[in-house]
Amino acid sequence: MSTSNSLDHLHLLRVELARLAEVKVEQLKDPIPHIEGWTVHSTVGHTGWIARYATQALTSDPDSPPSRSAIPDPPPGEEVLAWFDEAQRGLIKAVESADPDQLRPTFIGPQPASWWTRRLAHETSMHRWDAYSAFGSPAPIDAPLARDGIEELLTVFVQNRMDFSILAGAGEVLHLHATDIDDGEWMLNLAADAVSWEHGHGKGDAAARGPVSDLLLMLWSRIPPSRLEVFGDIGILNRWQEAANF
């Protein structure tokens, strides 16, 4: 069972936005080591763009998503920091004003407005980690948010963004074991066109064991499986990362 409803996603979103907003002008040109062609500027700009898109979605008819072309591109240079600050303030205002149960447009169809609060908490935490990885060892994603992030990935992104022709599931079982939280084990069954999952402990064809933040980062292809304790067929994890078009 997901713990998403027990998390204060608005608080977590505020925390991660504030962390990303601490980026300095002199750091904007630093490359993101695990995303080819991206810099800290790219990450801040992308997150600000997503915040603006979500802000519009939170006031749109559920069957009329905002036009992506209507959202301006991030400005070049250091102006991106003020642009991001404006975006985050607009997003928080929109989230606070929204009825969390009111249906709004999303990329998986109409969902309660609270869907966007959860999504942006995860979006921002991941890109904060990206940005900070460019100039040091980034702090892990907070464990309760990372746990929820694994389940959001499994329920939203895998079914909508996974390239199953690359994953090529044939009934293999992947066991994920978070070592720093309670109730942090998942059993994933990899089928030809879907991934089903449940909480539990068992023997899989492959297993990855480590802190919950690292498990989430691995599933999002931010870190290699070798950063975790891996048992069994590591090729399953390598195929996952190649197929994860998230």
pLDDT per residue, tens digit, the chain (246 aa), is 344 657 999 999 999 999 999 999 999 999 999 999 999 999 999 999 999 999 999 999 999 999 999 999 999 999 999 999 999 999 999 999 999 999 999 999 999 999 999 999 999 999 999 999 999 899 999 999 999 999 999 999 999 999 999 999 999 999 999 999 999 999 999 999 999 999 999 999 999 999 999 999 999 999 999 999 999 999 999 999 999 988
Contacts for 105 with CB less than 8 Å, ≥ 6 apart: 57, 60, 61, 62, 63, 64, 65, 66
Same domain? For 81 and 153 the reply is: no
**Can you give the pTM of this predicted structure?**
0.95
Q: Which two tokens stand for residue 28?
A: 């904007």
For residue 176, being part of any structural domain is answered with: yes
Buried b (16+ CB within 10 A) or exposed e, 125-146: bbbbbbbbbbeeebebbbbebb
Same domain? For 46 and 129 the reply is: yes
Range of the domain at 10: 4-133
Judge residue 147's burial from the number of C-beta atoms within 10 Å of its C-beta, 0-12 exposed, 13-18 middle, 19 or more buried.
Answer: buried
Same domain? For 94 and 155 the reply is: no
For residue 212, being part of any structural domain is answered with: yes
The pLDDT score that the predictor gives to residue 2 is: 43
Q: Which two tokens stand for residue 162?
A: 């996974």
Same domain? For 118 and 211 the reply is: no
Nearest 5°: the CA angle 80, 140, 239 is 95
Does residue 96 sit in helix, strand or coil?
helix
Number of CB atoms found within 10 A of residue 35's CB:
16
Residue 24: which CATH number? 1.20.120.450
CB 199 within 8 Å of CB 176: no
Same domain? For 13 and 104 the reply is: yes
Number of domains in the chain: 2
